[in-house]
Structure 1
Amino acid sequence: MSEVFEGYERQYCELSSNLSRKCTASSALHGEQKKQKFAEIKSGIDEAESLIRKMDLEARSLQPNIKAVLLAKLREYKSDLNNLKSEVKRIVSGNLNPAARDELLESGMADALTASADQRTRLMMSTERLGKSGGRIKESRRTMLETEELGVSILQDLHSQRQSLLHANNTLRGVDDNIGKSKRILTAMSRRMAKNKWIIGIIIAVLVIAIILILYFKLSK
């Protein structure tokens, strides 16, 4: 929730309550005192309208989920403001003499307003409900941020594991290449050994035949 908006909101609620008390008090006044009281009310209403505009600008500059909550609050305040304007206009039109009424209307007092006790109660209840909604939104945002941080951590772990697997895969590929080379060397050695066995066998057979021939010729003589 925006601290700037909350500051304007507190000022508006205090000002609105003060204006409501002044409107109630003005009904018991007459003449110049009443005119002075209405002048104070008009000044307060102008200030309230300025606060409403500031809250509206601040709310529209925030993120969509917070913006929706604050604009809902703002609609309550605007409704309260319109009701007060109608009530003050009724008081001005009904309780003043024509000359005083014309003077106040010319000075802009027709736009002044006051809130009833029931309207103020409903407004505060709505504000409280919206405040709770804002709290839930804050909690949701906090949970979302925690989930996002957890997701980032998991992605980092997965990236690290991927790098480890790629390294292991490269190592295994190197081992496989070495095994292939060793296999080719052993095959060549096996062929040479088999060839040597044949050569040795032939040599032995030739020697045996030669010995037999030598013995045969010696014995035949």
Structure 2
Amino acid sequence: MGSLMADYEQQYGILTAGITAKIGRLSNDQNADRKALVLDVEKEIEEAQELLEQMELEVREVEASARPRLRSRVDSYRAELGRLSQEFMKVRSPPFQDGFFGQDDLYSGVSLNEEQKLRLLDNSERLERTGKILNTGYRIILETEDIGSQVLQDLHSQRETIQSARSRLRETDSELGRSSRLLGGMILRSLQHRAVLVVVGLVLACLVALGVYLSLSK
């Protein structure tokens, strides 16, 4: 599992390096391949998002002691990707230059007035904010799931403790029952011994009385 996480991090590093380089080219170049660069960056950002989701799944599978450290690394990767996405949004739809947009932008071949371009920029910013909200919600869901998993583990541990105590209580009850039966047997034998002694005493008394009677009759 550790090697798989390392592979994901290596792939993520390669992707973000490529994204950073292409964003730099977009901010400096106004060539005909600008649209292709934008498509490449969009694809690589999506791949990086998928890698982060895979990392999140791997973090959920590791031991609880190592989970906070790995989650902190994934959060830093997600923040880095968010920063790159913001930079990409700025360079893919650059602001006004001398009152006009660049000729080689994403909407080449489409006639847009300034109000429509501003509206598209506003929609892009809204989409970016929505993406951040969704990422935050997803992270909260994962954290809630971790807390639920820990609660279930605690409940399972408590259940085992209760079952162990119940088992010991049954054993104690069984020992008490055995002791009670032994004590009852001892009391019964004591009563039997007393009865035997009483009978022997009566027999001896009868013999003594008979002896006295015989001696007097002579």
What do the CA deviations read for 1:173-221 (whole angstroms, capped 9, x no partner)?
3212322321231132122112212211111110121122123223334
Which of 171, 175, 179 in structure 2 is aligned with 1:174? Answer: 171
- Encode CA deviations 1:20-72: one digit per residue, 9 max, x unaligned: xxxxxxxxxxxxxxxxxxxx86x2x4223222233134325634xx9xxx9xx
Match for residue 34 of structure 2 among 30, 38, 47? 47
- 1:128-207 matched pairs, under 5 angstroms: 128-207=125-204
Q: 1:172 to 1:161 in 2, by over 3 A?
A: same
Q: Which amino acid aligns with 2:203?
A: V
Structure 2 partner of 1:84: 108
Q: Count how many residue pairs are aligned between Structure 1 and Structure 2.
A: 156
Aligned residue type for 2:153: Q
Q: In 2, distance between residues paired with 1:50 and 1:206?
A: 123
- Give 2:215's aligned residue: 218
Structure 2 unmatched runs, 5+: 1-11, 54-84, 94-103
Q: What is the rounded CA distance, in whole Å, between the counterparts of 1:174 and 1:215 in structure 2? A: 61
TM-score, length-normalised on structure 2?
A: 0.57
Give 5+ residue unaligned stretches, structure 1: 19-39, 88-114
Higher helix share: 1
Give the AA of the match of 1:216: Y
2: CA distance between counterparts of 1:139 and 1:122? 26
Structure 1 residues 119 and 60: CA distance shift in structure 2, 3 A: farther
Q: What is the 5 A alignment of 1:12-161?
A: 43=31, 45-59=32-46, 62-63=49-50, 83-87=107-111, 115-161=112-158
Q: Which amino acid aligns with 2:148?
A: G
Instruction: Compute the displacement of 1:165 (Å).
Output: 1.6
What letter matches 1:85 in structure 2? G
SS in 2 for 1:84: coil
Q: CA RMSD in A?
A: 3.8
